[in-house]
Structure 1
Amino acid sequence: MKNLYILIVSILFLACGDKENNAEPVVDTTTESNMISATKAQFKSENMVLDSLKTLHFQSTIPVTGMIDVPPKNKSSITTFVGGYVSHTPLLVGEEVKKGQLLVSLKNPEYVEIQQNYLEIAEQLNYLKAEYDRQKSLYDEEITSEKNYLKAQSTYKSNLATYNGLRKKLQMMNISPSAVEQGQITSTINLYAPINGNVTKVNVSNGSYVSPNDVIMEIVDIDHIHLELSVFEKDIMHIKKGQNIEFKIPEASEKTFEAEVHLVGTTIDETTRRVKVHGHVDKDLANFIVGMFVEANIITDSKSGIGLPNEAIVSINNNSYVLVLEATTTESYQFKKLNVSVGQKDENYTEILNPEDLKNKQILVKGIGMLMEEPSEE
């Protein structure tokens, strides 16, 4: 009987417990889940900022890379037509030079031989010219044979060609033919700057030998510096002459510089499937160095729109949200999570396509990440 009594009491207790559980009300948390609060202390310590919608300029851009360069006519590689040993090279990398300025002096016994050959031919030429004229006169008067006349003509013209060739070679070596004809023979030749510019490379030192295939030094004129950009094939149809370019030198500065599209290439590199785009740069913007790597955006379109800073928007499950201030208490700020429709986006701002939902609202534009976190992608 005692056991039966205990069993009946237990059954009644369990039945009462189920009844109480079934009677507990279900709370609708839909509204509460859209409300987020932040204490004023938290707001201050995390440097949170409230702001409203702004009218902004949104740009359609094409990101590209390239380098600082100059036109081929503004770059000169200094070489020699006849090899020799460096006897004098006064310049260092970075020095400015003027057109016609001495760059380097070379010595070689071969220079003396060339001048000797020229002088010998020059001396013979006067005699051969006189003999050719005499034979021509005799032939015209039918006093001498055609054979003698043609022989004198051939000898004279052959030596004349040699004379002119050696004369031109001396001029290319910067040796005066007139001075050689006066007996002034030198074992040294000088190389001069063909353009104004700055020395960017020096590949020799005193005593070193240079051959005609060697680049002794390089001069670059930066008066006409430009951007040489590479644009993917899929983007090239959007590039037009006159479009603005914004670019940075990431390794040297965070500053943004401006340029303009000047020429668009008409051929595609078969390996990279890219097209060259030439941009003009104001040389007074910065002290650019030829060869610097650049990251650029070519602006293809621009429009006005209503937007917010990128950091004011959080993406969750492919939806975009902002936090709007709903109420302020003595201790906290109450924010409501609102879904927004976004449009164009640039480096700093995002366009809002439903601005009427946020009109005259205070929006958390800095610090939203502390209150709402985007789910990490696995």
Structure 2
Amino acid sequence: MKNLYILLFTLVITACGNNKTNDTEVVATETDSNEIIVTKAQFESENMAFGTIPEFNFNESIKVNGMIDVPPQNKSSISTFIGGYITQTPLLVGDEVKKGQLLVSLQNPEYVEIQQNYLEVAEQLNYLKSEFNRQKTLYDEKITSEKNYLKAESTYKSNLAHYNGLRKKLQMMNINPKQVEQGKITSSINIYAPIEGFVTKVNISNGTYVSPSDVILEIVDTDHIHLELSVFEKDIMKVKKGQKIQFKIPEASDETFGAEVHLVGTTINDKNRQVQVHGHVNNDENNFIVGMFVEAEIIFESARKMGLPKEALAILEDGTYVLALVEEKDNSFQLEKIKLSIGKTSEDAVEVLNSSELKNKKILTKGLGMLITGN
């Protein structure tokens, strides 16, 4: 009998200990299909928070694709007016160049022949000019015939045209005609940068022969980065100058960048029925690279609507729900599930069409976790 009393006493103490443990346990219980009880201990440990239903900006937009580009005047394909062999190529892809900087040097015996022809014509020109002036004077004084005068004039002017043509050719080859007239003849020419920028293509190496139709290298000035977007014919009437653009570079970053519609094309591409739209980037200090693929949205309408952040939502099979506070007790919160009618969506929020049901209610906006489960 004594042992039986000891056993019963032990069981009573154990039961009391279990009750104390249950009192401090962090639990969330579902009292019925629409109500949930959350202890304050769980509320704090899960970093939950209440909030009210606020307003968000919801945009009507057109989704388009495009690329990073620069204006035509900021891109230069370098070639030569006269073919030759590359003798110097100091640049690599990615090198920065200044306007007027040496890009490549070429060599060709033909350059020597052109300078020789120019020098010969320049020497003849002085004599022909003197002869023309002499014949003109004689003709004015009725000493020589008109035939001799016209012949001298024709020969002089023909030689002058040849001289000017060769002179311009030398200038295009970056050879100084005055130095040639002084007898300084060179077998090589230099090509200089017409714009400031970065080398994006190099198609040659030392010893390569290039003809006038070959692109030696390409330079791009990235100071005026812009967007070239393709908009389908069915959407183009919604696009206007000054509208905001939000775009991403999916292959390189998850960040969203801003731009603005600057020009809208006036012709439709016959192949894909698209129109080109030119957008100015708001902040061109980012490391954008010409040719990057972009995914963009052109915003043609924006309005403020009542909505909730996406982290406050629970998406179930039968709809989208939130938790609203019904009653606060000493150690717990009584919450109820409210089904939402969803309207427009943005990247971070959704429009709530039945917002009147949530007016003056405290909504669980953080820490929703797995509190709501499907029945």
CA distance in 2, matches of 1:62, 1:48: 38
CA distance in 2, matches of 1:126, 1:234: 69
Instruction: Calculate the TM-score normalised by the size of structure 2.
Output: 0.81
Residues 222/141 of structure 1: CA separation in 2 closer, same or farther (3 Å cut): same
CA distance in 1, matches of 2:370, 2:144: 111
**1:106-162 Cα shifts (integer Å, max 9, x gaps):** 000000000001011111111111222222222333333332222222211111111
Contact 1:244/1:299 (<8 A) preserved: yes
CA distance in 2, matches of 1:124, 1:178: 16
Aligned to 2:153: 153
Any stretches of 5+ residues in structure 1 without a counterpart? 1-31, 374-378
Aligned to 1:355: 355
Q: CA deviation at 1:103?
A: 0.6
Residues 369/149 of structure 1: CA separation in 2 closer, same or farther (3 Å cut): farther
Instruction: Calculate the TM-score normalised by the size of structure 1.
Output: 0.80
Contact 1:306/1:352 (<8 A) preserved: yes
Amino acid at match of 1:219: I
CA distance in 2, matches of 1:371, 1:256: 33
Report how many residues are paired.
Answer: 339
Superposition map of 1:17-96 within 5 A: 34-35=33-34, 51-52=50-51, 53-96=53-96
Residues 36/260 of structure 1: CA separation in 2 closer, same or farther (3 Å cut): same
Contact 1:325/1:364 (<8 A) preserved: no
The one of 345, 354, 371 aligned to 2:373: 371
CA distance in 1, matches of 2:183, 2:37: 97
Aligned to 1:196: 196
Aligned to 1:220: 220
Contact 2:233/2:274 (<8 A) preserved: yes
Q: Any idea what SS the aligned residue of 1:371 has?
A: coil
Residues 106/178 of structure 1: CA separation in 2 closer, same or farther (3 Å cut): same
Aligned to 1:265: 265
Matched, 1:140 2:132: no
Residues 331/104 of structure 1: CA separation in 2 closer, same or farther (3 Å cut): same
CA distance in 2, matches of 1:369, 1:187: 83
Q: Any idea what SS the aligned residue of 2:278 has?
A: strand
Q: CA deviation at 1:327?
A: 7.3
Q: CA deviation at 1:251?
A: 1.0
CA distance in 1, matches of 2:373, 2:146: 110
Contact 1:84/1:107 (<8 A) preserved: yes
Q: CA deviation at 1:338?
A: 3.6
Residues 125/184 of structure 1: CA separation in 2 closer, same or farther (3 Å cut): same
Q: CA deviation at 1:178?
A: 0.5
Contact 1:223/1:283 (<8 A) preserved: no
Aligned to 1:294: 294
Amino acid at match of 1:151: K
Q: CA deviation at 1:94?
A: 1.1
Residues 369/199 of structure 1: CA separation in 2 closer, same or farther (3 Å cut): farther
Amino acid at match of 2:97: V
Aligned to 2:3: none
Residues 142/368 of structure 1: CA separation in 2 closer, same or farther (3 Å cut): farther
CA distance in 1, matches of 2:269, 2:186: 50
More divergent stretch after superposition (257-266 vs 139-148): 139-148
